[in-house]
Amino acid sequence: MDSSIAIPGSLAARKPSKPNELPDRTTVSRICRLSLHPDDAMSIVHRITGIALYFGTLLLAWWLISRASGPTAYANVQAFTSSFIGRLIVFAIPGAAAYLLSAQHFVWTSATVQGERT
């Protein structure tokens, strides 16, 4: 590629001066940033609560199907929900629903009204 038509910032435009030298690479400022912006934290929590609601919905469907299937299947669901992971899912469902339905939108709306988001 001719350097006169190379795109600025591309690898073709930044040739090494020595044969064994690697070309300079630019760094992205967003990757180098160490602070956690509230929108970033809200996005992470949004994903976590969405996953919790997904597993909660599967657990609810399993519970309903086992309830209709009989006492043996229902005993299996009861054994799972009394385990640590089962209790974690059961207790995460109301918290995730409350966050997704109220807290997230309240914080994002208040930040938008105050002009903090662009």
- Residue 51's CB is within 10 A of a number of other CB atoms, namely 12
Angle between helix axes 38-69 and 84-98 (nearest 10 degrees) is 120
Q: Is residue 11 part of a domain?
A: no
Q: Is residue 65 part of a domain?
A: yes
Q: Is residue 15 part of a domain?
A: no
- pLDDT value, residue 41: 79
Domain count, the chain: 1
**The model's pTM:** 0.55
Domain of 77, in residue numbers: 35-113
Q: Is residue 2 part of a domain?
A: no
Q: Is residue 92 part of a domain?
A: yes
pLDDT in tens, 56-84: 899 999 999 999 999 999 999 999 999 99
